[in-house]
Amino acid sequence: MINRDILDEYAALAKIAFEGNRDEDIDAINGMLEIAGKIADVELSMGDYPLNLELTNTYREDEAGPSLPCEDVVANAKDVEAGCISVPKILGDEE
């Protein structure tokens, strides 16, 4: 189970902050962990499963099509620099 101390520790490691009611966040995370635990308990033993399945290429052919205009691509971007979407640096030397 996740508690406030664990949530704060993981948030600091991930460099994220939680806003709003932390107790609701903890309850939601614990609910997800409970569901994941139930999924992990599912019996998956099906006996002998044929491993020699004859699979064929299920991908479609790659077909070139018209590209979007650059103005449309960056229209909703917060920051644009030289026609490209500019994002903040999130990895660095800080520890």
Place of tokens 């991908």: 59
Q: Which domain holds residue 31?
A: 4-40
Q: CA angle, 19 as apex, 15 and 21 as ends, to 5°?
A: 130
- The answer to whether residue 86 is domain-embedded is no
Which pair of structure tokens corresponds to residue 14?
């991930």
- The answer to whether residue 57 is domain-embedded is no
- The answer to whether residue 22 is domain-embedded is yes
CA dihedral 89, 87, 8, 18 (to 10 degrees): 160
Cβ contact 25:7 at 8 Å: yes
Cβ contact 22:7 at 8 Å: yes
Tens digit of pLDDT per residue, the chain (95 long)?
889 899 889 889 999 887 888 888 899 999 999 999 898 887 777 666 666 566 677 788 888 999 999 999 999 999 999 989 999 888 876 65
- The answer to whether residue 49 is domain-embedded is no
How many domains does the chain fold into? 1
Does pTM surpass 0.75?
A: no
Burial of residue 54, with CB atoms counted within 10 A of its CB: 0-12 exposed, 13-18 middle, 19 or more buried: exposed
